[in-house]
Structure 1
Amino acid sequence: MATEMATELKQELMRVRREARELYSRDQVEEAVAKVAIKLAEDYSERFPVFVTIMNGGLVFAGQLLTRLDIPLEVDYLHASRYLGETSGGDVQWIVTPTANLEGRDVVILDDILDVGSTLLSIIEACKAQGAASVKTCVLVDKVHDRKAQPGLKADYTALEAEDLYLFGMGMDYKGYWRNAPGIFAVEEA
């Protein structure tokens, strides 16, 4: 039975990838990330920030962004999620918290996507509670819709905007898969 389920999952994943609509190519994503890196380098050139990546989605974005920042910085990560492999979110669940001392630090939170923003708002509050001097947010994609956790919620730094579709690629997943897809894709509904 396990083999049959794996075969069905693989078929679904391949169908989703094949039928997905590309919103941004790898080159377009890299160009947008480069622009964000320039702005971050300007804003943090005189500070010693700690960049905290939200796992697992922020991993690809962080890898592309951080190597473009020729400034002294510390890197840490956390894992908090509303999705945990599902395609719709529930309550925020904390899995791993940052180990860096955030007290008095300038913190930049890196994530793949700003959708509703509940997870991001929880993380901002947690960083402030640890005494961070400042907390800024930086996302690869901001989904444009009116369901934000707070009206007008925006990241401080945004590489790209996308319509309100289920997205995958460049760190964003479809049922835990396709974070590695080379671009940003929208799932086409069946």
Structure 2
Amino acid sequence: MKEHSISPEISAQALAARVQELGEQISKDYADKAPLRIIGTLKGSFIFLADLIRAIRIPVKVDFMEVSSYGNTMASSGNIKIVKDLSHDISGENVIIAEDIIDTGLTLNNVMSMLYTRNPASLEIVSLLVKSQKMKLDFPVKYTGFDIEDHFVVGYGLDYQGYLRNLPYIGSISPDFPAASYVRKE
């Protein structure tokens, strides 16, 4: 029987430090533009977003969108489906989209284009992880946590088949990883 493991990529301590830095930078950049609305993309960004907004020192409102393009595979299908739209109007607001990971950016291109039609005062992107060598995003990423290699990662909100979001770190897995039966030892 093959031994399956998660290869650690980014430690919990490194994640906490970088998220704190991102929160401080956003606080500085938007100090005279508050309040700020941050839109978390569900489901993967929820842990990152929770930690990020605690690191932001200016007034901030939160909303969520759920957009799907992966299904149960490790590759984006390129087709997006809006599962949950925003609860509030963003017209005239300074908005930052909080992403867990930007892979190709094709899904985010569609989301950004749609949100621009809602007339925000500004619209920026913060992403915990970016695969820049693979990215085809038409919009700049103003705030990046970590630039990573092109492999499938889990933990800190990122999942595989709905599992492994609860890992306190970011790790990579192989395509045959048995996510449903993995028991964390640490």
TM range (shorter): 0.7 to 0.9
For residues 179 and 34 of structure 1, the distance between their equivalents in structure 2, rounded to whole angstroms, comes to: 20
Checking the alignment, whether the CA contact within 8 Å between 2:53 and 2:60 is kept in structure 1 is: no
User: Which consecutive aligned stretches of 4+ in structure 1 deviate over 4 angstroms post-superposition?
Assistant: none
Q: How far 1:86 sits from its partner (Å)?
A: 2.5
Q: How far 1:154 sits from its partner (Å)?
A: 4.7
- Superposition map of 1:10-159 within 5 A: 16=4, 19-47=5-33, 48-90=35-77, 91-145=79-133, 147-150=134-137, 154-159=140-145
Question: What SS class does the counterpart of residue 165 from structure 2 fall into?
Answer: coil
TM-score by length of 1: 0.85
Q: How far 1:126 sits from its partner (Å)?
A: 1.4
TM-score by length of 2: 0.87
Higher helix share: 1
Give the RMSD, CA atoms, in angstroms. Answer: 1.9
Q: Point out where structure 2 has 5 or more consecutive residues left out of the alignment.
A: 177-186
Q: How far 1:189 sits from its partner (Å)?
A: 5.5
Question: What SS class does the counterpart of residue 67 from structure 1 fall into?
Answer: helix
Q: How far 1:148 sits from its partner (Å)?
A: 2.2
For residues 189 and 89 of structure 1, the distance between their equivalents in structure 2, rounded to whole angstroms, comes to: 14
Checking the alignment, whether the CA contact within 8 Å between 1:114 and 1:141 is kept in structure 2 is: yes
Show CA shifts across 1:116-166 (max 9, x none).
Answer: 001111111111101111110001111132x32247x65210111111100
Calculate percent identity across the aligned residue pairs: 23
Q: 1:163 aligns with which of 138, 145, 149?
A: 149
Q: How far 1:46 sits from its partner (Å)?
A: 1.3
Q: 1:179 aligns with which of 165, 169, 173?
A: 165
